[in-house]
Structure 1
Amino acid sequence: MKNWAVGKTELTQGLGTSASYSRKVVGFVPPNAEAKTNVNVVVSPVAPDFKNMGSFGSPESFGIKLVNLVDRKFGKNAKKNVATARLIDTYNVGDVFFAEYETFEDYSEELGDYATKLRFFVANAIRNPGMYNRMFSVTGVCDMKDLDKYYSSMTEVVKSFAPPKSKI
Structure 2
Amino acid sequence: MATRELDDLDRRILYHLQLEARHTSSSDIADALDVSASTIRNRIQRLEADGVVRGYHADVDYETAGYQLFTQIVCTAPIPTRGTLAEAAADVDGVVEVQEVMTGEANVLVRAVGVDGDDLTRIGEELDELGLKVSDEDLIRSTHRSSYSRFGESDET
TM-score (norm. length: structure 2) = 0.26
> If you compute each CA radius of gyration, which structure gives the higher value, 1 or 2?
2
Q: Relative to total residues, which structure has the larger helix share, 1 or 2?
A: 2
Q: Relative to total residues, which structure has the larger strand share, 1 or 2?
A: 1
